[in-house]
């Protein structure tokens, strides 16, 4: 869903110097894999760093993916969703052409390709019903079923979990899912998503030193608002990074791509498998231990802020293992002339010890984040709004669900 330059600047790979390469001519390719995609070998082994500590048999029973799907199905069956209007579900697919010969999917007229992912492509469409543009993710179900992502799971599991998660969510800083088109008689599967314009900047055209504090602060406030909403609903995103943070024409950031996200029944967000992007991976995820998903998300927010402000990554090695070594062992390097408040915030977000790492609630109250804009606006989500309305009507709480945000 995301464009590679959605923050309005690019991280030029030619600016990242390769120092002491141990992989010879493969170094450039290795670094690209750290920046541009998720890398996972043998369902969880990163060049010797094990990020999934359960055995294949154990995973059959302990897989967070299965647990997430069960929780999501339960919530859907019991109406525990956080959106006023449900996602439209369409089970008939009509492929045709308009009067100008443009391809159509039901009422949507095809435009041009705007993105691509591991499982499918994203194309801009225009609805003939309301005239609006939509970003439509398209998949081939047969391809998803053949692509294995874990010992007992295929890519179809990831896509269906993403759909179930997005069916539950509604927040101004999260990309909205409007419709799912799944015709049992065809191999095609579509997700009709809110179209976010993004900001495309070709390599070398962006500011040499990031976005500047003002823009970075505005973007961070939106990211924190959306992520606090997810965490309050016991959802861990799992892959926070600029590519998955889209910017509207008015400068609002929206979180997208829930392909590796997980859901929990309560505040116990312990995970074993870390399928995110290497350079945004938290230290505890590199050590082959169980870790807490919310704290790992918060680390990724810190890496993202570092990128926004300085235009480069805080920890990047020549190879995957070298990158993990740096994430775990290297101290955070910040310019001497950096704003002391921003320096304090980055050090808190990028603390190696997740127990001492700054929480999102702390971030929202931080002096640099508040700036001249004041505290981040408290968003009353749909399910909390209904709960408060029922409490007001009956004079006492009737809903056992508790949200922190």
Which neighbouring-strand residues pair with 139?
Answer: 189
Round to whole Å and give the CA distance between 113 and 268.
Answer: 40
Round to whole Å and give the CA distance between 277 and 255.
Answer: 15
Round to whole Å and give the CA distance between 208 and 11.
Answer: 9
Catalytic residue among 239, 243, 257, 269: 239
Round to whole Å and give the CA distance between 342 and 136.
Answer: 38
239 assigned to active site: yes
The answer to whether the annotation marks 241 as part of a ligand binding site is no
Residue in this structure with the two tokens 């045709």, named with its chain if needed = 96
Binding residues for ATP: 137
Binding residues: 137
Would you name the residues annotated as active-site residues? 239
């Amino acid at each position: 869903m995301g464009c590679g330059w959605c923050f309005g600047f690019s991280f030029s790979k030619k600016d990242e110097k390769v120092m002491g390469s141990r992989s010879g001519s493969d170094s450039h390719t290795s670094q690209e894999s750290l920046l541009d995609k998720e890398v996972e070998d043998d369902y969880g082994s990163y060049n010797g760093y094990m990020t999934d500590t359960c055995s294949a048999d154990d995973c059959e029973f302990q897989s967070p993916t299965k647990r997430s799907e069960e929780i999501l199905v339960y919530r859907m069956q019991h109406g525990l969703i956080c959106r006023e209007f449900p996602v439209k579900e369409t089970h008939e697919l009509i492929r045709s052409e308009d009067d100008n010969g443009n391809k159509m999917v039901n009422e949507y007229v095809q435009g041009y390709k705007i993105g691509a992912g591991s499982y499918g492509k994203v194309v801009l469409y225009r609805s003939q019903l309301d005239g609006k543009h939509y970003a439509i993710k398209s998949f081939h179900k047969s391809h998803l079923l053949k692509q294995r992502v874990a010992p007992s799971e295929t890519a179809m599991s990831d896509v269906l979990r993403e759909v179930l998660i997005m069916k539950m969510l509604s927040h101004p800083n999260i990309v909205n899912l409007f419709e799912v088109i799944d015709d049992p008689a065809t191999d095609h599967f579509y997700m009709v998503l809110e179209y976010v314009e993004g900001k495309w900047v070709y390599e070398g055209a962006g500011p040499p030193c990031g976005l500047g504090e003002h823009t970075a602060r505005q973007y961070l406030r939106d990211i924190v608002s959306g992520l606090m909403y997810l965490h309050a609903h016991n959802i861990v995103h799992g892959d926070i990074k600029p590519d998955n943070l889209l910017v509207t024409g008015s400068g609002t950031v929206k979180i997208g791509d829930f392909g590796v996200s997980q859901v929990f029944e309560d505040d116990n967000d312990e995970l074993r498998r870390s399928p995110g992007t290497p350079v945004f991976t938290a230290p505890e995820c590199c050590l082959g231990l169980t870790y807490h998903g919310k704290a790992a998300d918060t680390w990724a927010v810190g890496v993202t802020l570092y990128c926004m402000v300085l235009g480069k990554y805080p920890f990047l090695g020549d190879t995957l293992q070298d990158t993990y070594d740096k994430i775990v062992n290297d101290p955070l390097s910040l310019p001497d002339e950096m704003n002391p408040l921003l320096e304090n915030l980055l050090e808190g977000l990028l603390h190696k010890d997740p127990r001492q790492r700054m929480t999102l609630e702390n971030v929202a109250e931080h002096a640099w984040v508040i700036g001249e804009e004041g505290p981040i606006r408290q968003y009353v989500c749909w399910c909390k709004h209904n709960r408060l309305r029922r409490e007001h009507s009956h004079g006492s709480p009737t809903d056992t669900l508790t949200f922190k945000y």
